Structure 1
Amino acid sequence: MSTIKAIPDGYHTLTPYLLLADVGAEIEWLRAAFGAETHGAIDSSQGFIRHAEVRIGDSPMMLGSAGDGSSKSVILYMYVEDVDAVHRRAVAAGGRSIQEPTLQFYGDRTAAVEDPAGNQFWIATHVEDVSPEQLAERAKSH
């Protein structure tokens, strides 16, 4: 007899769930922008996607229909190997650049893109380990 895990394999303790007007369109954008892989979808009897799951890198993301035809925006922070390349790819896929790749005082090189549904993806590559003391000192000038 197997033991049921409280957190299923392949999931994290915290998993983002986006509520969207058009789940299918978001899946296509996530594929084009970040190479997302689809891991299942549940269609409604009304012809739209009720729930879907995608994976970006090692992280799952759940997507669902908002039901009222609107999208509820969120901000997601995503670590990648090459922030510059991923930012270019996301913009080429139809995202709107909010911030070009920029070195931050806390040790990340970040960029930001808004998807067609209004969600913000803050993309980062960690480039420097910063001690708590260094962080406190650097934060004074920002």
Structure 2
Amino acid sequence: MQDIYDTYHPPGFSSMNTYLFVSRAPAYITFLRNAFYAEEITRTLRPDGTTIANAILKIGDTHFMIAEASAGFSDMRTCFYLYTQMVDSMYKNALQHGAEAVFPPSDQDYGDRQGGIKDPWGNYWWISKRLSETDYE
């Protein structure tokens, strides 16, 4: 079955990717840049010249897309699982930029060090570091 997904996708993208519709997309992009060191790759505006039709961002080695929510595409919430070497400092940085604490970083019994936050748009982020180079079992 894997062959059905063996097609070209741009560097940084995989077979399945995140695409968020959010209210106040420019402010959300600013939050992501400040809290998680996201890099904005591209930004395309709608014909009005002010509304984001599509922005491509990158966190770590992962690209994802954001667009301004509208009547046809409502604001959405999700949860992200972010791997980083800097769990504690990334957690604190997100809080300093407006995120809300869900749970503080601690070592989990499934082998991750992890802390949880809720961003100002209502998305949850599990900020994690794998403590060993083993698979989840």
Do both proteins adopt the same fold according to a TM-score greater than 0.5, normalized to the shorter chain?
Answer: yes
1:39-81 CA distance string (max 9 Å, x none): 1011112321111010001111110122139521000101000
| Residue of 56, 62, 67 corresponding to 2:65 | 62
Report what 1:123 is aligned to.
127
Report what 1:89 is aligned to.
93
Report what 1:140 is aligned to.
none
CA RMSD of aligned residues (A): 1.9
What TM-score, normalized to structure 1? 0.83
For residues 131 and 119 of structure 1, do their structure 2 counterparts lie closer, same or farther at Cα, with a shift above 3 Å needed? closer
| Residue of 32, 53, 64 corresponding to 2:34 | 32
For residues 113 and 131 of structure 1, do their structure 2 counterparts lie closer, same or farther at Cα, with a shift above 3 Å needed? closer
| Divergent runs of 4+, >2 A | 68-71, 128-132
Distance 2:94 2:125 in 1: 9
Where structure 1 has 5 or more consecutive residues not aligned to the other structure, the ranges are: 136-142
Distance 1:107 1:13 in 2: 27
Distance 2:135 2:14 in 1: 27
1:77-136 CA distance string (max 9 Å, x none): 01000100100011011111111102111100111111111111111011135677xx5x
Distance 1:6 1:115 in 2: 33
What TM-score, normalized to structure 2? 0.86
Q: What is the identity, as a one-letter code, of the residue corresponding to 1:62?
A: M
Report what 2:47 is aligned to.
45
Distance 1:101 1:17 in 2: 27
| Residue of 102, 106, 113 corresponding to 1:102 | 106
What percent identity do the matched residue pairs reach?
29
**For 2:110, what is the secondary structure of its paired residue?**
coil
Whose Rg is larger? Answer: 1
Distance 1:61 1:76 in 2: 12
How many correspondences in the alignment?
A: 129
Report what 1:112 is aligned to.
116
